[in-house]
Structure 1
Amino acid sequence: MRRLPFLFTLLFASPFSHAEPPELDWLDMMPAEDRQALEEMPDISHDTPEADGDFTAKGGLKQKTKNLPAVMYSTKTVAELNGREIRLGGYPVPLESDGKGRSTTFFLVPYPGACIHLPPPPPNQIVLVRYPKGIRLEDLSAPLWVDGRLRLEKVSNALADAAYAIEASGIELVEEEEM
């Protein structure tokens, strides 16, 4: 008789429980040499073509200046992350939406306003998110949790270069303090 509650829990509770994948830190997506180069990087001048804040002009999130330290252009990835189920927090930069106005493809970046901050993140700090279900993005400065399988995938378009992509299984809008 003592086994009955245990069996009930095993049979009925476990299908309803949802374990979140392990959280991934953005810096863990950079190889050790890139992390060190980032830590040792000198201050960057904001006297660049992006200084006017016009990220919609040709280049978008791409680096427009060619005189930044090499780490700011890095597409180097961490091979061990390929195929891992992860949870990554960040901020959206919409690319494509469905007929109902929900974003189905967007870049995820580590800080809000990456599309207008100087300089933009390097490609290994930009992730292409594919989410066919779509999500309504009312406020681009609102953070998201993205769950899914991370892939090493170089993506380049007119807006940005990314070194990773994720097939999202779930996306959750969160408050800034929850990140």
Structure 2
Amino acid sequence: MFSLSFFEKARFASFFYLRFVFIQMFKGLRMHGKYFFLSVCLLSFTFALNAQAPKELYWEDLVPTDFVVPEAPPPAIDHEGNMTQAQPNAPLVESLDGMLVKIPGFVVPLEGDPDALTEFLLVPYFGACIHVPPPPSNQIVYVRFSEPVPIDNLYDAVWVTGRLSTQGWKGDIASVGYRLSGSAVSAF
């Protein structure tokens, strides 16, 4: 079945709306005004078409296709509660660097207050980095927002949109392979 994404629907709707407005306004303008109006409409329509839609990524997209997970012995029991991260230097997909993306995941808060966060880790499953050992570094995304964003419930998955970077991050909790400069958060 043929389906359109939100951004494709918006492009079609803006095209038909601009066409209608153009026809209505074109009727009442003089000749030199018509050319000016036409150039302004074409310029604004070009900007609307060039608006970049984020690429929807999933966690398997963050792992190189040729990477084989090495067989690891079972982790040693640590009675002090310390958890060692599996593959802290896992390989990254370098072609994703600088791309505008949208990725789902669970939030592990790092910086903010009870109502809103500015920094958090995005992980593929609930409890990663908190109750269980951290996943490989290419399965953790460090997210930073310039302004605090509300996260309604830490138990629910969210979509995070922003510019992805392959520049890692290292914290007390885990080594991270990807950074994301966040622009939006929404419910999954």
TM-score by length of 1: 0.68
2:162 is the alignment partner of 1:148? yes
Give yes or no for contact 2:162–2:184 (8 Å, CA) kept in 1.
Answer: yes
Give yes or no for contact 2:129–2:173 (8 Å, CA) kept in 1.
Answer: no
> SS in structure 1 opposite 2:128?
coil
Give yes or no for contact 1:20–1:87 (8 Å, CA) kept in 2.
Answer: no
> SS in structure 2 opposite 1:124?
helix
Runs (5+) with no aligned partner, structure 1: 175-179
Alignment partner of 1:84 out of 81, 84, 99: 99
Q: Which has the larger radius of gyration?
A: 2
CA distance in 1, matches of 2:16, 2:74: 68
CA distance in 2, matches of 1:97, 1:108: 15
CA distance in 1, matches of 2:16, 2:126: 51
CA distance in 1, matches of 2:16, 2:59: 45
Q: Identify the residue that residue 162 of structure 1 maps to in structure 2.
A: 176
TM-score by length of 2: 0.65
Q: CA deviation at 1:103?
A: 0.5
Aligned length: 151
Give yes or no for contact 1:75–1:162 (8 Å, CA) kept in 2.
Answer: no
2:58 is the alignment partner of 1:25? yes
Letter in 2 for 1:37: V
Q: Identify the residue that residue 124 of structure 1 maps to in structure 2.
A: 138
Query: Alignment RMSD, CA only?
Result: 3.4
37 and 96 in structure 1: CA distance in 2 versus 1, 3 angstrom threshold: same
Give yes or no for contact 1:145–1:172 (8 Å, CA) kept in 2.
Answer: yes
Higher relative contact order (CA 8 A, sep 6+): 1
Q: CA deviation at 1:128?
A: 0.5
Q: How does 1:27-176 map to 2 (within 5 A)?
A: 27-34=60-67, 36-37=68-69, 41=71, 45=74, 48-49=77-78, 63=85, 72-97=87-112, 101-174=115-188
Letter in 1 for 2:170: S
% identical aligned pairs: 31
Partner deviation per Cα, 1:64-87 (whole Å, 9 max, x = no partner): xxxx6xxx3333211100001111
Runs (5+) with no aligned partner, structure 2: 1-14, 23-40
